[in-house]
Amino acid sequence: MSADPTTTAAATAAGVGSAPTAVDNAPTPVGDRSAGRWGNPDTESGGGWAPHPSPAAGPLLGDHQDPAASPLLGDHQDPAAGPLLGDHQDPAAGPLLGDHQDPAASPMPHGTGTWGGTPGAPRPDVPHTAPREAVEGLLLGLAAGDAAGWPAARHRAARMPEWTRRLTRELDTFAEQNATTTLPVPIALNQPPEPLRLGPSDDAEWAVFTAEAILTASGPVFTGLPPERRLRAAVDLAWNALAGQVAAAAARAPEVESAVLPLRARISVRAGLGNLATGLRPPATGHDNPHFFDDAACVRAAVLAVVHPGDPRAAAELAEFDARYTQDGDGVHGARAMAAAVAAALGGATVDESVEAALAELPPVTEIGRNARYAVKLAQTAGSAFELVPLLEHQIVDHVYSYGIAAAETVPVALALATAARGGMTAAVPAAVCLSRVADSAPALAGALTGALGGGRSVPPTWREACRTLAGCALPRLAGTDLVELAGLLAATEPATPGGQFRHDTHTG
């Protein structure tokens, strides 16, 4: 291997102003992709409709914001116009296909339950919003799983003074050099210890970032757009506004690497925002990305399922629209699968029906498709979620790459544990935590699905109180956000209507 994957990925993520070709030689240890239907991402921007954001772009969407001042619409674009298509895109083209798929091939897989849709049929209007109890279970289950994994303590330690983290690193070096088995943990010493106590971290905060877009779409900012286009417009504006903040921080710094950014994020998200800041558009922002394969979009997808309860296909299509900002290949497939599973659960499906909806979105020829089907097969014969852990550890989880965040591992683990736990959150989440290598997100994904299946009452009261409030360790402006209150707002949001196509994909949502 010609390059160290950790070094290559970190360098690209740090380079907010890096060129689109920064990852041409980066290794692709997991997942699969090709230039696919969009051709060479170095020569095609993806046909998006938002221009390069101003570096001075403000914070994400307050109610006071004038939609005419946003970076969302190009000067040439009438907000009331029809679907905006890239010049390279045939308006009659079918649904967005995975990079490996021939556009002339058979229709994409679809759900099989009573909540499933017919491929190629217009998306029906969703007749109801997701029940508040189910949305509450989704958010609290995700947050509880996020909090339970060991990486959450390190994420939350970001709110401690830097010297406390430096001391922890020095103690770790001491243990390594002196062959001691007493390992350090995040410490407070003479500082208030509240940031280190049990609670949600990065996954829950990026899920709320997506929830904000859902709420914004139903607010006054996009009243000039047809209702069916507002949500995707809100998602687009959310990403471009954040990219503008990143670009502004980089512009203020003497060099990009020293920029003080208003967020902490996965490598794929940092790289995607950097790509947006340089003028790239999806799908290039996710394709030209060293961590295209990771699961960063999966927690966002779980929240987007709220828009299409009971319609896994529509939820998957919407999730792909969002995922293309930061992912490609298995990263996109994983987002589609999680959205489909959670949407089915929100519509009243059983755990088996929900998992089947997820599998229907995973092409069998992909790594994530193979892993998920095999993991679920193992789960169907396991006596319990805990019994399944060693099998997943030895047969699904990878121990080669430097990060345990591949969607091809975490999504199959979440689906399998939900199956083995028969949809029970208190069985699925602790089992996911036992898989230490994928504990950064697999517990959160398992918690999101099982929480949606069981509702808010399935989350133990102690976990509910510990995990309902965000700390702001990844997105500081979200500190203090109450997930129970947010669930009520999301459940009251007007359902999405069909249509609303605009590039970078051709789906409805």
Half-sphere exposure of 288 (CA within 13 A, CB side): 29
Report whether 232 contacts 262 (CB < 8 A): no
Distance between CA 219 and CA 222 in Å, rounded?
A: 7
Distance between CA 163 and CA 159 in Å, rounded?
A: 11
* Six-digit token string for 98: 């995975």
Distance between CA 344 and CA 357 in Å, rounded?
A: 7
Q: What is the identity of the amino acid at 412?
A: P
90 is in an annotated binding site: no
Query: Helix H segments across 253-295?
Result: 267-277, 284-287
Distance between CA 8 and CA 20 in Å, rounded?
A: 14
Query: Helix H segments across 283-384?
Result: 284-287, 296-304, 312-323, 330-346, 351-359, 367-380
Q: What is the identity of the amino acid at 323?
A: A
Report whether 509 contacts 318 (CB < 8 A): yes
Nearest-5° angle of CA 298, CA 300, CA 306?
A: 110
At 469, give phi and psi (nearest 5°): -115, 130
374, with CB counted inside 10 A (0-12, 13-18, 19+), is: middle
Instruction: Provide long-range contacts, Cβ within 8 A and 24+ apart, for 149-154.
Output: 149/432, 149/433, 149/439, 149/440, 149/441, 149/442, 149/443, 149/444, 150/433, 150/436, 150/439, 151/201, 151/439, 151/440, 152/199, 152/200, 152/201, 153/185, 153/186, 153/196, 154/186
87 is in an annotated binding site: no
Distance between CA 19 and CA 293 in Å, rounded?
A: 20
Residue from 293, 368, 298, 371 nearest 339 by CA? 298
Count CB atoms within 10 A of the CB of residue 68. Answer: 9
Annotated binding site for Mg(2+): 440-441
- Residue ranges for the known binding site are 440-441
